[in-house]
Amino acid sequence: MVHVEEAIQIPRDFEGFGEESHDCQWPNGARIAVSFILNYEEGGERSWYDGDGLSEPYLWEKGSSTGADKPGGRNLNSEHDFEYGSRAGCWRIFRLMKEFGWNMTLWAIAKAMERNPEFAKACVREGHEIGAHGLRWLNFWDYTLEEDKKYIKDTWEALHAATGEMPVGFYFGRGTPNTHVLVPTVLKAMGHKLLYSSECYNDDVPYWVDLPSESSLPAKDREGLLMLPYNYDCNDGKFHMAPGFGSSAGQDYEAYLKSTFDMLYREGGKMMNIPMHSRIVGKAGRAEALRRFMLYVQGKEGVWVATRREIAMHYRKNFPYQVGSRSGGTATSE
């Protein structure tokens, strides 16, 4: 059963930044910050091999077709599609990022990183950011508070062991209603600083929230929580969702990414997410569509392609936390 710990919940916010929105004042006068995110899950999904009683039926090439879910047995088709992501797809995306000289953030599943150490090592070597996505790619919505805290701690420790990097940001996506507000507390107890959470989908710009767990502290001792919004609409997972990109081809995906970029670029001061999966956009035909979008972005002036760690560091420097303020304090000069 889902437990909501009311004392630590962040209130809903329906107003945001209002009519004028918010200009994040990106470095060097850039009009937009572009964040490529690779959800690296292959090897951490449900599998017969790991004692889950089935092979993962969600977000693979057969989509919502019947026959994907086979409780009590293995579905080799599903398993092999996930293996494609770790054997071939991740390296294709890795090479694309290297071709353009850009860095991405990985929503990294610890077990997946453990099972592909060469890829984990290469990502850290090239300056890609390791973000926390969980121990395994499983729902844990019914965890107790103590189980939740242990899962968070174990995730960070396992990712550090697998990659050599201690994540400064996270997106679990499958946690309890308490997970995202427990992370800062757990990390603080571990002596590790959290820079941001991406456990939100409600804006196109970063923003600060006050943490109820800090409400009894003097204002000068509160740290708040910086939110870097994520999204589903540009997510390549929509190839396997309904409503999605219409077909398995990459053309609709490419067109939608370009439309999103154009609007945010014209508005200025915004952030664009490109969520990817090795087993989805890592397929050759879709990867070519992704590359065409990357060429489109490369041809524009005033674009800052950055990891989420870099975006968080910029925002913290220019809009430091201030109790009760979404945008933080007054921006300073770069």
- In one letter, which amino acid is 32? I
Q: Is the pLDDT of residue 66 over 60?
A: no
Q: Are 221 and 256 in contact (CB under 8 A)?
A: no
Q: Is the pLDDT of residue 323 over 90?
A: yes
Residue 327 located in a structural domain: no
Range of the domain at 155: 21-41+91-318
CATH code of residue 256 = 3.20.20.370
Q: Are 158 and 110 in contact (CB under 8 A)?
A: yes
End-to-end CA distance of the chain: 48
Structure tokens at 33: 């910050």
Residue 135 located in a structural domain: yes
The pLDDT of 83-106, averaged and rounded, is 98
Q: Is the pLDDT of residue 334 over 70?
A: no
Report which secondary-structure segment, H or E, holds 256.
helix 251-267
pLDDT at 127: 97
162-172 residue pLDDT tens = 999 999 999 99
Classify burial at 268, counting beta carbons within 10 Å of its beta carbon; exposed 0-12, middle 13-18, buried 19 or more.
middle
Higher pLDDT, 62 or 135: 135
pLDDT at 247: 65
Helix, strand, coil shares of the chain, percent, nearest 5, are: 40, 10, 50
Residue 329 located in a structural domain: no
pLDDT at 275: 97
Higher pLDDT, 15 or 60: 15
Question: pTM of this prediction?
Answer: 0.94
How confident is residue 221, by pLDDT bands cut at 50, 70 and 90?
very high
Residue 143 located in a structural domain: yes
* Strand, helix or coil for residue 97: helix
CA-based R_g, the chain, Å: 20
The pLDDT of 141-157, averaged and rounded, is 96
Residue 212 located in a structural domain: yes
290-300 residue pLDDT tens = 999 999 999 99
How confident is residue 332, by pLDDT bands cut at 50, 70 and 90?
very low
Residue 74 located in a structural domain: no
Residue 14 located in a structural domain: no
Residue 118 located in a structural domain: yes
Domain total in the chain: 1
